[in-house]
Structure 1
Amino acid sequence: MDQTAPGVTGEVLVVTGMSGAGRSTVANALEDLGWYVVDNLPPQMIKPMLELSELAQEAVPRVAVVLDVRGRDLFERLPEVTRSLRDARHLRVMFLDASDDVLVRRFEAVRRPHPLQGDGTLVDGIRRERARLSRVRESADLVVDTSHSNVHQLTTKIADLFAESGAARHSVTVMSFGFKYGLPADADLVADMRFLPNPFWVEDLRSLTGEDESVRDYVLSQPGAREFLDAYTAALRPVLEGYQRENKRHSTVAIGCTGGKHRSVVMAREIAQRLDDVPGVTTRVAHRDLGRE
């Protein structure tokens, strides 16, 4: 049975971001999930395309439009177009990003110039694109950092974000990380576990990780650990409920320690388990830096 309200068709996702950040991978993943994907459509053509599909009585419930710097007027027209469509469609903008050094490595691996490189270097092209995209990034509904994701990991993340998930209205990724490797660029909320003693300095635990039972027991036995879990998950509940009211479909809660190997791994799993019973919310755990030396 069609649950779409009269006069309002299905979802529209605008996919944009930095060249080399994974737009093609995302487009393929969305297509596999049943989205109708249109690549490199000028922004001003989005509305006519959707209107034509409705006139033909073949409205597509989920449409993804991939835009990049090849669309010359993207940056001038995109805000105007998305504003005009939000009243008639459930429209979101997803911005794909990655660090400059990662983008350089990716372009060098495929031996292709950056579309804005011109007579300059790869770095020149990346900087020009980042400057032109700054306003688009700021206004995006969802920013996905792909710096630490390969093709398969990014595909999995898109499936987590956009696959049908029953009654769930909001997906939370609880991500452990190490501060010494930098903050996750796509984190919505960050908590610091460095107030707890570091298992690294316990000889029997140093070579283990937060996935090991002995490390978990050690971390959770420390003063303040369980008190933090109770207080933090209680504080997250109204935030997640508010995200649902605001139609925010995904958030990332980043839990950090020094190296992302012990304390943050334990606490990320504990937080995810405690959030599992929040109505309308599904959780997944990711360990960004667990495999690093």
Structure 2
Amino acid sequence: MLEDLGFEVIDNLPLSLLGRLLDGPPLSHPLALGLDVRNRDFSTDALIDAIDRLAQRSELRLQVLYLDCDEDELVRRYSETRRRHPLAPADSLLPGIARERELLVPVRARADVLLDSSGLSPHDLRAEIEHWFAPPEGRTLAVTIHSFSYKRGLPRGLDLVIDCRFLRNPHWDAALRPLDGRDARVDAHVAGDPRFDGFFTSMCDFVVPLLPAYHAEGKTHLSIGFGCTGGQHRSVAVTERLAKALAKEGWQVSKRHRELERRAGTGVSSAARGQVA
């Protein structure tokens, strides 16, 4: 993701080589270094000392990004990839994760940007990276529209939340119950609610003027959430409609249907993209 933003990226660089790298030829691109406990000469004190020394160099602009994640998600990721934790003895994950957390406490405290990746899809993570590290001249406003079930709580990081539970519910129609809001029949059922047209028009009149204002203020990512009871019909249909409307206006739009993705066993979001006006 950082390479896509124009960074030269070096992962797992031994700390002993850091000085030689930065004292070499002038950098033609911003530089991103991946440093963690895998480094053969890694120590917390050495890393903190290196950060402090680099921060004193007037020709450098240093930022420390700390990627965090909750324990359950880390266990799931290691289990899916079948990778051993570098600090885990005898393939036991939890002691290794606990040891790593304790070891990196001073680094976490020293970070300029703390990014919790728990529950983030690749698209969500990319949006966060772009928010913090995209060059100002290349930044655009990306809009992500989420559908979700209130039973499972709100998705992380929403800027605007709109409740769709007042709309007519396709769940009570046996023919529509197995379908979801991407189906034309479900969409027609939801849009057939006498309250829908006024709601959707008012909602667009509210959202659309905000986008250029947020963009002008330097915001690079806006998350809008639509919730309903099950996250399958009403919120999905409204998400689909708004994504199409904003893409037609020229905004970069992505949509994520959390409950549908969960049931399908995938975290990949679908996207409808346009040019930023």
The DSSP-based 3-state class of the residue aligned with 1:290 is: helix
Shift of 1:59: 1.5
RMSD of equivalent CA atoms: 4.8
Per the normalisation by structure 2, the TM-score is 0.64
Corresponding position: 1:285 with 2:255: yes
Q: Is the 8 A contact 2:65 2:112 kept in 1?
A: no
Which amino acid is 1:59 matched to?
S
* Partner residue in 2 for 1:219: 190
Q: Is the 8 A contact 2:151 2:230 kept in 1?
A: yes
Per the normalisation by structure 1, the TM-score is 0.61
Could you tell me how far apart the structure 2 residues matched to 1:135 and 1:176 are? Answer: 34
Q: Is the 8 A contact 1:39 1:66 kept in 2?
A: yes
Query: What are the within-5 Å matches in structure 2 for residues 64-103 of structure 1?
Result: 64-68=32-36, 72=44, 95=67, 97=69, 99-103=70-74
* Partner residue in 1 for 2:171: 200
Which amino acid is 2:188 matched to?
D
Could you tell me how far apart the structure 2 residues matched to 1:224 and 1:90 are? Answer: 53
Q: Is the 8 A contact 2:9 2:33 kept in 1?
A: yes
The DSSP-based 3-state class of the residue aligned with 2:214 is: helix
Could you tell me how far apart the structure 2 residues matched to 1:203 and 1:78 are? Answer: 64
The size of the alignment, in residue pairs, is: 252
Which amino acid is 1:289 matched to?
E
Residue range with higher mean Cα deviation, 209-218 or 282-291: 282-291
Residues 282, 108 of structure 1: alpha-carbon distance in 2 compared, 3 angstrom cutoff: closer
Shift of 1:206: 0.5
Match of 1:260 among 222, 225, 231: 231
Residues 167, 138 of structure 1: alpha-carbon distance in 2 compared, 3 angstrom cutoff: closer
Shift of 1:204: 1.6
Residues 136, 90 of structure 1: alpha-carbon distance in 2 compared, 3 angstrom cutoff: closer
Could you tell me how far apart the structure 2 residues matched to 1:48 and 1:125 are? Answer: 31
Shift of 1:188: 3.4
Corresponding position: 1:158 with 2:123: no
The DSSP-based 3-state class of the residue aligned with 1:289 is: helix
Residues 102, 190 of structure 1: alpha-carbon distance in 2 compared, 3 angstrom cutoff: same
Match of 2:156 among 185, 190, 211: 185
* Partner residue in 2 for 1:25: none
Corresponding position: 1:245 with 2:213: no
Q: Is the 8 A contact 1:161 1:171 kept in 2?
A: no
Q: Choose 1 or 2 for highest CA Rg.
A: 2
Query: What are the within-5 Å matches in structure 2 for residues 10-21 of structure 1?
Result: none
Could you tell me how far apart the structure 2 residues matched to 1:259 and 1:214 are? Answer: 18
Q: Could you tell me which runs of 5 or more consecutive residues in structure 2 were left unpaired when the two chains were aligned.
A: 265-277
Shift of 1:278: 5.7
Corresponding position: 1:36 with 2:5: no
